A and B are shown apart, each in its own frame.
Chain A
Amino acid sequence: MPEKKKKPSIWRRLFGNRNTETNILAEEQIQSPGRMMLSNFLHNKLGMTGLIIFLLIFVFVFIGPYFIQIDLGDNDNTQIHVPPINSMLEVPKELDGNIQDIAAGATFGLGCDKDGKIYIWGYTKITDTIDLKDIPEEVLEAKIVSVAAGYDHAVALGDDGQLYVWGNKRLGQDRIPQELKVSRKKGGKNIIQIEAGYQCSGALTDEGNVYFWGNTNMCDLDVRKDYREGVKKFAIATYHYCLLMEDGSVVYGGIEKTNAFNRIPESLSSGVVDIAATGDTMAGVKENGEIIVWGNTAHSENKVPERVSAAEADDEEPVMTAKPLEIYGGRYHYTALMENGDVVSWGDNGHHQIDIPASVNEKDIETVFAGFYQNYAVDVDGDVHTWGLKGHPLGTDDLGRDILTRIINGGQITMTVGFVAVIIAIVIGVIMGGLAGYFGGKVDMLVMRIAEVFGAIPFLPFAMLLSAIIGTRIDVTKRMYLIMVVLGVLSWTGTCRLIRAQILAEREKEFVTAAQAMGVRERTIIFKHILPNVLNVLLVEATLSFATCMLTESTLSYLGFGVPLPSPSWGNMLSGANNSIVIQQYWWRWVFPSLIFGICTICINLVGDAIRDAVDPKSIGH
C-alpha cells in the first residue's frame, strides 16, 4: 500500500475549526477570540448564506465583464425593448429537414417548408397591437414558396405569384406596385426573388425587372431607367439597394447622387457572381472568388477572411479554405458559402453572429440564410444549423442595450465605487477617530468639531450639489472618481465617532490598566491590546457602510447625479424606469437590476450583522 497521508479537505482547512475534538468530560477548550469569532460567524447560517451569495454576485460582476464586454456606444434601434427571450434561433421542428426558405428578422425568424406552410419564431411583437405572429389567413392558406423579413414587416410569396405583406404597414411597407398585384394565373409576373430591408421590400421577376416599395421617406427606392431590365439579382441594405445585372456587373440603381453606396469599386463592373448587403455595406463575389465590400464599413465588414488552404486553417481566425460561391449579409456581418461546402462569417461580432459552431463545417452546407444577427445554414441532409443572436436573457432597454451586459458591467462600477468610497471613509475615519481618541484634549475637541460640521451637511443634497457643480466640468472617468471621493469624504464621521468611542472605552478597561501596571510599552498597548478590539468593530462598520455607500451611489446615479451615462451602474439603469409605461410593459428593465441590487445589499447587511454577532456574542443575547 502506498503511503497516503490524509489531508483535511480544503474546505476544512479554509473555514473549518481546526481544533481536535474534545472529550465531553474534558473541560471546554479555551479558544482565542479570533477563532471564536470565526466559528461564531461560521455557525450563523443566515450570515454564511449572505456571504456565499454575495461572493457569487461579486465573482459574477468582476469576472463577468471579461466574458461579456460592454460597448458603451452600443445603440441598436432594432433591439429596443425586447423582453427576456432566448428562442430567436429556435427553428420549429416541423421545418427541420424540409426547409424551403428562411428569412431572419431583427428579433424573429420566418420560414416556409417545401409544402408551402409558413412558420414564425422568436420575438414577434412590434407594437402593442401589431404582432407578426398574427399571420393573415390568406397567407396561411396559400402555398408559400419564399419569405422575406424586414425590421417590422414580413413579406411572403405564394406559388401563384401573389405577394403578401403583414406587420407594420404604416410607412408604406405594404404598398406593393400595381404590376405585382396581379397573380400569375391572370397573366401576372413571375417573381423569383423577394427581399426586405429595414422598412422596405423588393421583388425581382424572371424577366429581369425589379420593383421596390416601402418607406420612401428614408429609403432610396426608385429605379433608374437604365436598370429596370436585365437584372439578375438584387440586395437591400437598410435604406438602399444594389443590382447585379445579367452581364455580371454591379450597379447602384437608385437616384441618390452621393451616398456611401454610389461609388462601386471598379473591379465589380464585370464578372460578379453574387451580391449581398448588410445594414450599411454591400459586397460582391467575383468569379475568381474575390470578395469586395463597399459602403460604410464601420463594423469591420470589409475584413474579409484571408484565403488559405485547408491544411493551414486554424481555429483562431476565420479563414477561407476554398473559393467562395455565394454571400449573405446580416445587419453588420457577412457569411459566405464556399465551394467545398464550408461557410465563413466576418464583420461585427457583438451578438456572436460570426462565431460559427464547429459542427457546421463538418457537414457540407447547401445554402445559408442570414439576416440581422442570425444565420441559418442548411446542410445536404436538410438539417439546419444556427448561430448568431439567440436572444437577450434579461431583455433590452430603451436603446436596445442588453440588460444582462449592463447589469454585469454596472455591478462592477457600483461595487468599485462603493468599495473605494468605503476605503476612503474608513481611512479618514480611523485617522481622525484615532487622533481624537488617543490624544484627547484639544485634538479631540477639534476633530469632533470638524466631524460635527461634516455631520451637519445634509448628505444627499450636498453630494448632488458637488456632482452638479464640479461634475459638469470634468470628463466621465474623472466624474466617477469624484463620486467616490465625495462619498468617502462625506461619510467618514460615523466611523470616526465609533473609533474614538471604542478607543476611549478600551483605554479605560482593566486589561489596559493591567498592561500599564506591568510596564508594557505604550506602543505595544496601542497595537496589541487596543487595536485588535477596535478592528472588530471596524470590520462591522466597514461591511455595513459598504452597503450604504453602494446604496448612496446608486441613489445618486438614479437621480442623474452619479455615474454618468452611458456607463452603466445599478442606479442609473433604473433612472428611466419611474413611469407607468416602463413599470408595466417593460418590467424587465427595472425588475432585474432591482433584484440583483436588492439581493446584493441584503447579503452585505446580513454578513455585517453576522460579523457583529460574532464579534460581540452578547448582542445575540445569550
Chain B
Amino acid sequence: MVVVFFIVSFVMYFLFNLIPSDPARLELEEMKKTLRPDVYEKMYRDLRESMGLDDPIIVRYARWLGVIPEKSGEFNGYFQANFGYSNFYKKPVVNVISAPIRTTVFMNIFATILALGITIPLGIWCAVHKGSRRDNFVQVFSIVGYSIPIYIIALVFIYVFAVLLRWFPVSGIGTPGANYTGLRAFLDELYYLGLPLIVMTFASLGGMSRYVRSAMIEALSMDHIRTARAKGVKERVVIYSHAWRNALLPVVTLIISWFLGIFSGSVLVESTFGISGMGRLYIQSLSNHDFEVSLFVQMFYTVVSLVGALLMDLIYGFVDPRIRVNK
C-alpha cells in the first residue's frame, strides 16, 4: 500500500515535471532588467543550484515529498504540509483548497448516506420479490440509471426541477450577497446543494441497487437460508439477519469503491452546477495552468482512493471473520 502510494505519487510528480517551467527564472524575472547579463546569469545559476533544480528527478521528488531535506537543510515537503504555491491565486495552496475540500467532502458524505438509505432497502426488496413485475420494472429502470452519464441526468434534473418547477436554483452555492450565519447559512447551502445531491444520489441508484440485489439473491440461495426457513424462522429474521449478513460483504466492497468513484465523479456535478468544490478547482487549475494546485488535488484523490482501499481490506476482515488482514 505504501509502495503503491510512492509509485503513484512519483508518476504524478514526474508528469507535472514534464510541463516546461522554470521557477528560478520566474523568481529572477523582476531583477532581470536591473542587472547586467553576466551577473544575472550567475545569479540564475546559483539560484538553480540552491533550489536544486538540476538534481536528478528522484532527488527532487523526495524533497518535494519532504523525505530528504532541501539544500538549506530543512525538510519542506508534503509531509510537512507544504503543498506549494498557487500561481493563479497568488497564495499558498493550503489556503486555496481548504474551502473546496470542505464542500466536496460534505457533498459526498451526504450523497453517500442518501444513496445508501435508498438503495439498500430497495435492493433487498427487489431480491426478495425477485422476478415480480415490480422487480422487473426496477431492473429496467436501474439499467437506464447507470447507463446514462451523470451530466445528462443533471441536465434533465435542472430542466425539470430548476427551470420548470423552480424548486431549486440552477447553479451556484449560497445566495449571492446574503450574509447568513449559523443555521441559516447551513440551510441556504443545503438549498443550493439540494439539486446536486439529488442528482448524485439518483445517478448512483441504478448501479448500487442492482449490486445489492444480486448480492442478496446470492445470499438468499444459500443452504442455511433453506434450513432456517424449514425450521420456521420468521421471514423477516431470515432476510435481515441470516441473508443480509452474508450479503454485506460484497456490499461493503461496493460502498467503498463507489464512495471513491463519486469523489472523482463529483468533478462532473460540480462543474455542471458551478459548485466551487475540489473538482471544479481541479478543472480550473488545469485550464489556468496552475499546476501546483492540480498536483495537490490529484494527490488528494490518490490518497483518498488509497485510504479507501485500505479501509476496504480492514472492513473485510471485520465483516467476514474468515479473512485475516495480514498486510
Contacts and interface: CB of A to CB of B under 8 A. Distances in A.
Interface string B218-257: 0001000000000000000000000000000000000000
A609 interface: yes
B187 interface: no
Contact of A574 (B152, B297, B302, B309): B152
A622 B309 CA distance: 35
B126 interface: no
**Chain A, interface size: which category?**
35 or more
B210 to A, nearest CB: 9
A464 interface: yes
A561 B260 CA distance: 21
A559 B283 contact: yes
A10 B163 CA distance: 51
Contacts of A574: 151-152, 155
A516 to B, nearest CB: 30
A113 B214 CA distance: 70
Contacts of B18: 469-470
A460 B163 CA distance: 29
A602 B143 contact: yes
Interface in B162-207: 162-163, 170-171
A15 to B, nearest CB: 23
A346 interface: no
A560 B267 CA distance: 12
Given A452-B4, A461-B297, A469-B19, A598 B283 contact: no
B271 interface: yes
Nearest to B159: A583
B200 to A, nearest CB: 14
B272 A601 contact: no
A462 B301 CA distance: 9
Contacts of B163: 580, 583-584
B146 interface: yes
A456 B149 contact: no
Contacts of A459: 264
B268 A559 contact: yes
B263 A458 contact: yes
Interface in A440-499: 449, 452-453, 455-462, 464-466, 468-470
B264 A559 contact: no
Interface stretch (A214-222, A285-293, A547-555): A547-555
A550 B18 CA distance: 28
Contacts of B35: none
A594 B170 contact: no
A178 interface: no
B151 A602 contact: no
A578 B221 CA distance: 46
B319 interface: no
Contacts of A580: 158, 162-163, 170-171
Contact of A621 (B159, B217, B268): B217
B149 A460 contact: no
Contacts of A554: 149
Given A452-B4, A456-B305, A462-B298, A602 B147 contact: yes
Interface in B271-319: 271-273, 282-283, 286-287, 294, 297-298, 301-302, 304-306, 309
A75 to B, nearest CB: 23
Given A574-B151, A597-B149, A606-B143, A465 B286 contact: yes
B265 interface: yes
Contacts of A561: 286
Nearest to B282: A461
Contacts of B221: 621
Contacts of A590: 152, 155
A465 B289 CA distance: 11
A119 interface: no
A469 B156 contact: no
B57 interface: no
Nearest to B257: A455
Given A456-B306, A602-B143, A609-B143, A465 B152 contact: no
Given A453-B4, A456-B4, A460-B265, A602 B155 contact: no
**Chain B, interface size: which category?**
35 or more
- With most chain A CB atoms within 10 A of its CB, the pick from B19, B143, B170 is B143
Chain A at the B interface: mostly helix, strand, loop or mixed? helix
Contacts of B152: 574, 590, 594, 597-598
B99 interface: no
Interface string A568-590: 00010010011110011001001
Given A458-B301, A598-B147, A578 B272 contact: yes
A176 B8 CA distance: 71
A559 B158 contact: no
A46 interface: yes
Contacts of B140: 46
B148 interface: yes
B294 A594 contact: no
B16 interface: yes
B130 interface: yes
B323 interface: no
Given A458-B302, A469-B19, A555 B4 contact: no
A605 interface: yes
B58 interface: no
Interface in A526-579: 547, 551, 554-555, 558-561, 571, 574, 577-579
A458 B283 contact: no
A45 to B, nearest CB: 11
Contacts of B146: 605
A84 B301 CA distance: 43
B7 interface: yes
Interface in A92-127: none
Contacts of A460: 264-265, 267-268
Interface string B1-18: 001110110011001101
A558 B151 contact: yes
Nearest to A605: B147
A606 B304 CA distance: 33
Nearest to B156: A594
B117 interface: no
B283 A457 contact: no
A224 to B, nearest CB: 51
A468 B264 contact: no
Interface of B: 3-5, 7-8, 11-12, 15-16, 18-19, 130-131, 140, 143-144, 146-149, 151-152, 154-156, 158-159, 162-163, 170-171, 214, 217, 221, 260, 263-265, 267-268, 271-273, 282-283, 286-287, 294, 297-298, 301-302, 304-306, 309
12 contacts: A456-B306, A457-B11, A458-B304, A461-B282, A469-B16, A560-B283, A574-B151, A578-B273, A583-B159, A583-B170, A594-B152, A598-B144
Given A457-B11, A555-B151, 10 more contacts: A461-B297, A462-B298, A465-B12, A465-B298, A469-B19, A560-B287, A574-B151, A580-B163, A583-B158, A621-B221
Q: Which 8 residue pairs of A and B lie closest in terms of their CB atoms, listed nearest first? A: A458-B301, A601-B147, A602-B147, A468-B286, A580-B170, A594-B152, A460-B264, A458-B264
